[in-house]
Structure formats: structure tokens, C-alpha cells
Chains A and B, each alone.
Chain A
């Protein structure tokens, strides 16, 4: 089981969290201007890296906040958590 650090509550067991996918995916400002391929890219295509991955987690059974986690997809090692700003997973610094 992963130990995930909530920026507010500290380290908690993975079972308290739910996964929210890749962080930093901004909704297009003008969806009407997009073609099908670009819209599909926004909806479905993810970077799926081998290694460092920035992703969204929700502390569902705790304080219910969304935040970001940097996790290695090979080793599952988590290098840190960060609070969000702007709603799309940008770092708050």
C-alpha cells in the first residue's frame, strides 16, 4: 500500500484517497474553436510517462481536498505532494 502525503493531513494510507489522473490538463478556453482531433486529445490522450508523473489525488476519506502528487510510475516512489492553484494542477508556488 502507498503512503500518500496530503498537504493538510500528512501521510495517510492509500485507501483514504482516490486517484484523479494526470495533473496539469487545462480545459481549452474556447472548446468551439477545436476540431474533433484536438478535443479528443484533450479528453483522452495522456502523457503516460515511464518515470516521473505529476498526478491528481483526492483525500476522499479525510479532508476531501484535491492536491497534486509527483510519483514515479516505475518504482511507485512518491517524491512529494503539492497544493493546487487555478484548478488544473499547477503548482501553487
Chain B
């Protein structure tokens, strides 16, 4: 029996093989948030019992307006009219998922800890809008895609959840673990003229 289990994300070997001295002033810097856990929550937004009990556990609102994020202790992304993604430090994700499950007992709902299945990348820097626009059909102009907005779309054909976290700007990209090395390589290639750099959180 193993003595301890270590959580590893899918990009650790790629990061380890990176050149030692990234450019000092990168146009885009990508931080790999392997330290975030992900919980998928589904339920009927119109059945008030579900929204209420989930919000009680989260301590913050479930975003009901399409393609918006509720930021608080956790980040809660609208994925569909009956589907949300909760991102929270991986150390508390399992426990939070358990409490959400418990709170939705007897309600037509589902709560799944999918932390091992996807990974979040944070993109910062003056060129990150340009880099994302090369692979995404969304209009990312700040007047259209504002802080607090999120969207599921394609980035270089990979399915992603995209969100604007702040107007530095910082973008959050959530991608399936199985697509993460592909997306990493695409970002590295498409962002090479912008001096894109990567680092672990």
C-alpha cells in the first residue's frame, strides 16, 4: 500500500523541461494553477431549494446570469442554465464537495469533484489578449468581455472555460487535463513572438 499520495498535474514534466531563464519582461506570463481544485455542480436553478442550499455551503451567490462568475472565497463559473464550476484551493475541494453533496441530499442535483480532470492556467501581461485572440472566436475587447464574465468556447480547437479575472488583464483558462499539454504547446508556439513564459503556481 502506498504511504502517501501526491497530486500531480499534467504539465509538470513540460515545465521541468523548460529553458532556465525566461525573458524578464514577458508579453504573456502563464501561471499553471495545479493548486486549484474543481467541482462541477448541477441542479435546477428554478427549484429554489437547490440554489439556496448550495449558496449556503459556498457562502456566496451562484451566478444565474449566463456566462458570469461569482468571486468570493471560491470562484463560481456559470457553465449552463443548470451547471456551474466551483474553483477553490485543492486542499479544501474534496471537503467542500462533500459538504455540497450533503446539502443537496434529496434534491435533484449532482456534485462531482473533477479536480483531477482539468487544470487552470492564468494568463497575464500586455499581450495576452492578442495571444488568446489568435485561437479563439470570442470578442475579447474589454468593452465586450469584461471582468466577471466567463465563457465556454474553443481555444485552438480545445474546449475551454475562459474568464477575465481582473483588468490587468488576467485571464483564466480552464482546460481538460488530457488537452493541457496540447494547449501548453500551442500557447508556447503562438506566443513565441510575445515572449510567453510559463511557471508553476
**Chain A interfacial positions (CB closer than 8 Å to B):** 8-10, 12-13, 15-16, 61-65
Contact = CB atoms under 8 A, between A and B. Distances in A.
A23 to B, nearest CB: 19
| Interface residue SS majority, chain B | strand
A9 B137 contact: no
A12 B66 CA distance: 14
B80 A15 contact: no
A92 to B, nearest CB: 12
Nearest to B159: A61
A21 B66 CA distance: 26
A63 B80 CA distance: 5
The 10 A-B pairs of least Cβ separation, nearest first, read A13-B137, A63-B80, A8-B66, A62-B152, A61-B154, A61-B159, A9-B66, A9-B67, A8-B81, A64-B80
B136 to A, nearest CB: 9
B121 interface: no
Interface string B134-151: 000110000000000001
Contact of A8 (B80, B137, B138): B80
B63 to A, nearest CB: 12
Contacts of A13: 137
Contacts of A16: 137, 153-154
Contacts of B80: 8, 63-65
Given A61-B152, A63-B80, A63-B152, A15 B67 contact: no
B138 to A, nearest CB: 8
B79 interface: yes
A17 to B, nearest CB: 11
Given A61-B159, A63-B66, A12 B81 contact: no
Nearest to B152: A62
Max chain B C-beta neighbours (<10 A), residue from A10, A13, A63, A64? A63
Interface string B72-102: 0000000111010000000000000000000
Contacts of B67: 8-10
A61 B81 contact: no
B139 to A, nearest CB: 9
A75 to B, nearest CB: 22
11 contacts: A8-B80, A9-B66, A9-B151, A10-B66, A12-B153, A13-B137, A15-B154, A16-B154, A61-B154, A61-B159, A63-B83
A7 B80 CA distance: 11
A54 to B, nearest CB: 22
